[in-house]
Amino acid sequence: MRTIAVLTSGGDSPGMNAAIRAVVRAADAHGIRTMRVASGFAGLVDGDVEPITSREVSGILHLGGTFLGTARSSRFRTTEGRREAQKHLDLAEVDGLVVIGGDGSFRGADALSREGPIRVVGVPGTIDNDLAGTDWTLGFDTAVNTALESIDRIRDTAASHGRLFFIEVMGRHSGWISLYCGLAGGATHVLLPETPTDVRRVREDVQRAFDLGKQFCLVVVAEGDQAGGAFSLADRVVEGLRDVDHRVTALGHIQRGGSPTMRDRVLGSLLGDAAVEALLDGDDRVMVGERKGRLERTPLSRSWTDHEEIPEPLISLMDRLAR
């Protein structure tokens, strides 16, 4: 292993820069040259591959987003596009590629490795926390804490006015952000893409909370919930409520940005270093992750095929505490 390349792909997530920094410096510690690929797979197809040194990743640990940039690439989804990408890797004499991203990025990396000589290792970078083989993905902790800060602020105005607030958080196919925000934010109800939406139950829970003397109610909704999001759900829930003023807030992309938490900085550092070690060990098409405090390697394809269910005890806990 003489040269390693690193790229970030898909949606940005806090902690990606920590992982980039770790890849570059871990490779340097082993006497391996590192190449940076700008703008994800799009940059790889275009040949935007340049050397990067340990000094160039100084001062990025605390930054949100991705220092390398990220972009979608329709060309990379074709066999011809991946051949072009492989050509640029060959020209740069790259032996191994570290891909930091989510399931779509890993599918692309897996295809690239199967069709060419390049070995790839994935680092799970997505705020959705929806990849098998790791307890936590890069950016999840920061995204939840960012959303929670907004929820705490909304609670203040909800309590002042005696209102019901519907708060939409990210999670098109995954309810991890919604559930953790609901648990930590004291929500009356949480709606997840993984569970059926019972509008009548939401209405009854909210009405019961106000009847029991609660001054305000928060309902946290994942954007991919079966009701169609917070605005659609609110319209249906408030139809049968008595004398309840309500508002809807969609937090949107503020959840993606901002300085990563300590947890995401450390996780990015651990996983970036582990990715280099995996390549040095001769591994290919694996994802590095953290399970129960231990670093593990999972076949890349399992990261998106082995769906990680949200633990039922967490959902039950939410139901018991939402009184």
pLDDT tens digits, residue range 75-89? Answer: 999 999 999 999 999
Confidence at residue 284, expressed as pLDDT on a 0 to 100 scale: 98
Q: In the CATH scheme, what is the homologous superfamily, with its name and number, of domain 143-256?
A: Phosphofructokinase domain (3.40.50.460)
- Its CATH class, for the domain covering 3-139+260-305, is alpha beta
Residues with a known catalytic role: 128
Parts of the chain belonging to CATH 3.40.50.450: 3-139+260-305
Q: What's the whole-number mean pLDDT along residues 162-166? A: 95
Assess whether pLDDT exceeds 90 at residue 322.
no
The annotation status of 88 as a binding-site residue, yes or no, is: no
Give the integer Cα–Cα distance in Å for 63 and 258.
7
Give the integer Cα–Cα distance in Å for 17 and 155.
32
Express as a percent the part of the chain with pLDDT over 70. Answer: 100
The annotation status of 214 as a binding-site residue, yes or no, is: yes
Give the integer Cα–Cα distance in Å for 301 and 81.
21
Q: pLDDT digit string (tens) for 21-76?
A: 999 999 999 999 999 999 999 999 999 999 999 999 999 999 999 999 999 899 99
pTM of the model: 0.95
> Where residue 243 falls among pLDDT bands split at 50, 70, 90?
confident
Give the integer Cα–Cα distance in Å for 134 and 3.
27
Confidence at residue 61, expressed as pLDDT on a 0 to 100 scale: 96
Give the integer Cα–Cα distance in Å for 100 and 309.
23
The annotation status of 69 as a binding-site residue, yes or no, is: no
Assess whether pLDDT exceeds 80 at residue 150.
yes
The annotation status of 86 as a binding-site residue, yes or no, is: no
Give the range with max mean pLDDT: 195-199, 228-232, 237-241, 264-268: 264-268
Q: pLDDT digit string (tens) for 95-132?
A: 999 999 999 999 999 999 999 999 999 999 999 999 99
